[in-house]
């Protein structure tokens, strides 16, 4: 299907006028009709109905109009990104990130880079675990903001540690368990009020819980979260207790109660991993930005190139005390 046909269809759907559409694209009305027929044949669906002097979209046409607009918008953004890279003379950092892990990082990082390295073009793309891991390996992204990567990734990529975190019980401040400063047990939470990370989105975190929780039956919960926004709504409105990152309290302005779970020890860290072959000047600028984020977040930990000899005194191996959970968050 020709991209030009989509442009014509979108304009036609918005004006419902073959005459105006033909004039806009400097072609005849018969050409517009022929291109429309080609689209309908490809889809196997009728998109417009003509009756007398009126033209209207069919139900299928309404759906295709919305999807066609998205395709054209994505195409325009792709052109803008290519031009941005072309005009930046190679000074570009393509950053892939995992939504929850990078939330405390993205804003301070971008502000720092805009102030201190305004000539470096930065693109930010939110990805899920598998896509981000493959993108880092294939060189599609220059930097991956990730949580608890597999040991071989830590050994093979330079990294900058940003902050440490752990899984805790996350609940509303009015929840009956919220006042237990000494922590709770997973058995204190009714199974039907336990909110767990979705095993498809957070496979590594789910594995952490499955391995460490003593009462496995408690993990057969009736609710799962796929992002922190849904988590926040559930714990604030339905008295759920979520097992999630303590950093969520920072994300939501300290409006949640964070209580330790004594029978689950799941510490992890968030780091920026750099693709092999990244130019040293771009690497240095990005590292400076992530170090600034670490300072802003009060992060503690080690930063460096794990498993690679010859790094300088400011670069150290990854803290061996952190568990290898085998996941991005």
Give the other-Cβ count within 10 Å of 313's Cβ.
6
CATH number of the domain residue 264 falls in:
3.40.190.290
6 or 99, which is more confident: 6
Of 86, 116, 144, which closes a domain? Answer: 86
Whole-angstrom distance, CA of residue 108 vs CA of residue 289: 8
Whole-angstrom distance, CA of residue 163 vs CA of residue 101: 10
**Do 56 and 201 share a domain, yes or no?**
no
Give per-residue pLDDT as tens, 62-97. Answer: 999 999 999 998 888 888 777 766 665 558 899 999
Of 52, 86, 120, which closes a domain? Answer: 86
Nearest to 113 by CA among 91, 135, 96, 80: 91
Whole-angstrom distance, CA of residue 228 vs CA of residue 246: 11
CATH number of the domain residue 8 falls in:
1.10.10.10
**Do 70 and 119 share a domain, yes or no?**
no
Beta strand 92-97 pairing with 143-147: parallel
Q: How confident is the model at residue 312 (pLDDT cuts 50, 70, 90)?
A: very low
**Do 43 and 136 share a domain, yes or no?**
no
* Cβ burial, residue 102 (10 Å; 0-12/13-18/19+): buried
The residue range of the domain holding 172 is: 90-329
Q: Is 54 helix (H, G, I), strand (E, B) or coil?
A: strand
**Do 52 and 119 share a domain, yes or no?**
no
Give per-residue pLDDT as tens, 149-186. Answer: 566 667 788 999 999 888 888 999 999 999 888 899 88
**Do 9 and 94 share a domain, yes or no?**
no
Q: Is 271 helix (H, G, I), strand (E, B) or coil?
A: strand
**Do 22 and 113 share a domain, yes or no?**
no
Cα 254 → chain centroid: 22
Given a cut of 70, is residue 124 above it in pLDDT? yes
For the chain, what percent of residues have pLDDT higher than 70? 77
**Do 50 and 103 share a domain, yes or no?**
no
Average pLDDT over residues 230-259: 82
**Do 37 and 115 share a domain, yes or no?**
no
**Do 37 and 137 share a domain, yes or no?**
no
Whole-angstrom distance, CA of residue 231 vs CA of residue 295: 27
Given a cut of 50, is residue 313 above it in pLDDT? no
Beta strand 92-97 pairing with 121-126: parallel
- Count up the domains in the chain and report the number: 2
Please state the pTM of the whole predicted model: 0.57
In sequence order, the β-bridge partners of residue 254 are none
10 or 79, which is more confident: 10
Per-chain mean pLDDT for the chain: 80
**Do 169 and 223 share a domain, yes or no?**
yes
Whole-angstrom distance, CA of residue 152 vs CA of residue 273: 12
**Do 161 and 43 share a domain, yes or no?**
no
Whole-angstrom distance, CA of residue 167 vs CA of residue 151: 20
Tell me the angle at which helices 59-87 and 3-15 cross, rounded to the nearest 10 degrees: 130
**Do 65 and 116 share a domain, yes or no?**
no
- pLDDT at position 216 is 52
In this structure, the dihedral spanned by the alpha carbons of residues 237, 218, 323 and 258, taken in order and rounded to 10 degrees, is: 30
Of 48, 71, 86, which closes a domain? Answer: 86
- Are 183 and 259 contacting, i.e. CB atoms less than 8 angstroms apart? yes
């Amino acid at each position: 299907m020709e991209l030009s046909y989509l442009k014509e269809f979108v304009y036609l759907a918005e004006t419902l006028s073959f005459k105006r559409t033909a004039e806009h694209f400097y072609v005849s009305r018969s050409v517009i009709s022929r291109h429309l027929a080609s689209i309908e044949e490809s889809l196997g669906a009728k998109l417009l109905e003509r009756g007398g002097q009126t033209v209207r979209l069919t139900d299928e046409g309404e759906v295709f109009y919305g999807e066609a607009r998205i395709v054209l918008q994505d195409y325009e953004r792709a052109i803008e990104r290519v031009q941005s890279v072309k005009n930046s003379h190679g000074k570009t950092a393509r950053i892939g990130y995992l939504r929850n892990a990078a939330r405390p990082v993205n804003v301070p990082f971008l502000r720092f880079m805009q102030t201190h390295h305004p000539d470096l073009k930065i693109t930010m793309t939110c990805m899920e675990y598998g896509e981000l891991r493959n993108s880092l390996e294939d060189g599609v992204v220059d930097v991956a903001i990730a949580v608890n990567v597999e040991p071989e990734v830590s050994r093979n990529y330079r990294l900058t540690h940003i902050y440490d975190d752990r899984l805790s019980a996350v609940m509303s401040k009015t929840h009956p368990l919220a006042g237990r400063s000494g922590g709770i047990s997973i058995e204190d939470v009714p199974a039907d009020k336990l909110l767990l990370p979705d095993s498809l989105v957070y496979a590594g975190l789910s594995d952490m819980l499955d391995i460490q929780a003593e009462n496995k039956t408690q993990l057969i919960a009736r609710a799962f979260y796929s992002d922190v926004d849904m988590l926040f709504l559930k714990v604030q409105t339905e008295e759920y207790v979520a097992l999630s990152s303590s950093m969520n309290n920072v994300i939501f302005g300290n409006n949640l109660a964070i209580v330790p779970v004594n029978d689950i020890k799941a510490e992890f860290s968030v780091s920026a991993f750099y693709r092999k072959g990244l130019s040293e000047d771009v690497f240095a600028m990005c590292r400076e930005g992530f170090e600034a984020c670490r300072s802003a977040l009060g992060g503690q930990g080690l930063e460096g190139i794990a498993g690679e000899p010859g790094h300088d005194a400011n670069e150290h191996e990854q803290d061996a005390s952190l568990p290898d959970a085998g996941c991005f968050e």
